[in-house]
Amino acid sequence: MSDISSKANDPQHIGIIMDGNGRWAKQRGYSRPAGHKEGAKTTRKIIDACQDLGIKYLTLYAFSAENWNRPDVEVRALMELLEFFLSRETKTLIKQRVRLHAIGRIEELPERARKALQKAIDATAEFDEWHLVLALNYSSRNEVLDAVRSLAKAAAAGEVDPDSLEWGDVSQHLYTAGLPDPDLIIRTSGETRISNFLLMQSAYSEFYFTDVLWPDFDREQLEKAIATYRCRERRFGKTGEQLSHPAAST
């Protein structure tokens, strides 16, 4: 194992677009759901690795709002897998003191999956050090739309003054309210798109793309992504000079 003991400039929050389950299955002559099942095993390993590496927040893109357009059999398999994953993993999450969150239009998930999700969220609600966020029926554009709707209603009711709104007020209406923005976003499988994932929250995130398919992604790959992140200079609009000599800022 490489020496990757946690460092001060490590990411606090990693978001992952877990892509490539279908191709992994196809390469082996398996069905697509078999690829997702293998992907779920990777998910468990990466949760463990994040805890070992001191990553406090992990957000996983598990089902996008657009994924409903897949064949029924695959959608059903993904929902069943979610239910199975939650029933199997909740005990471990409790043992690891990981708090589960969900972002997305959760109310539109099938009842059984929704209930399993709520049960797991309730069972881990007391923890506040480690956080696992599942993006389910998630779409950044829907998230913005839902925030705009809720702010517009509040404005119509005279509860907020539109002219004094700031970004902080808007972000409080996103599904991710209360969660820090991701420092690093990883996408597996060689695709270099963001696919409607955390568009608002990733304004200053670093991106890491790898050809490795999600079922093959492992702790070593995660460490590689973190090592790359450590070499990046996050300037947040400032110059490199300002960052290395803060006194020369003015």
* Residues forming the active site: 19, 67
Nearest to 13 by CA among 201, 238, 155: 201
How many Å separate Cα 15 from the centre of its chain? 4
CA 107, CA 136: separation in Å to the nearest integer?
A: 10
Q: Does 134 bind ligand FPP (CB under 6 A)?
A: yes
Span of 3-11, 20-28, 51-59, 218-226 interacting with ligand FPP by CB under 6 A: 20-28
Q: How many residues bind ligand FPP (CB under 6 A)?
A: 19
Q: Does 20 bind ligand FPP (CB under 6 A)?
A: yes
Span of 14-22, 147-155, 167-175, 202-210 interacting with ligand FPP by CB under 6 A: 14-22
Residues numbered 170 to 209 that lie near ligand FPP (CB under 6 A) are 189
Nearest to 50 by CA among 138, 108, 117, 132: 132
When the beta carbons of 19 and 183 are compared against ligand FPP, the nearer one is 19
When the beta carbons of 131 and 151 are compared against ligand FPP, the nearer one is 131
Among 18, 49, 58, 222, binds ligand FPP (CB under 6 A): 18
- Cβ contacts of 89 within 8 Å, gap of 6 or more: 44, 120
Amino acid, res. 47? I
Parallel, antiparallel or unpaired: strands 98-103 and 13-17: unpaired
- Cβ contacts of 84 within 8 Å, gap of 6 or more: 40
Convert residues 84-123 into a mask of x (bound to ligand FPP by CB under 6 A) and - (unbound). Answer: -x--------------------------------------
Q: Does 222 bind ligand FPP (CB under 6 A)?
A: no
Convert residues 40-59 into a mask of x (bound to ligand FPP by CB under 6 A) and - (unbound). Answer: x--x----------------
The 10 Å Cβ neighbour count of residue 208 is 22
Nearest to 85 by CA among 57, 51, 119, 122: 119
Which residues sit at the interface with ligand FPP, rule CB under 6 A? 18-23, 36, 39-40, 43, 60, 62, 67, 81-82, 85, 134, 189, 214
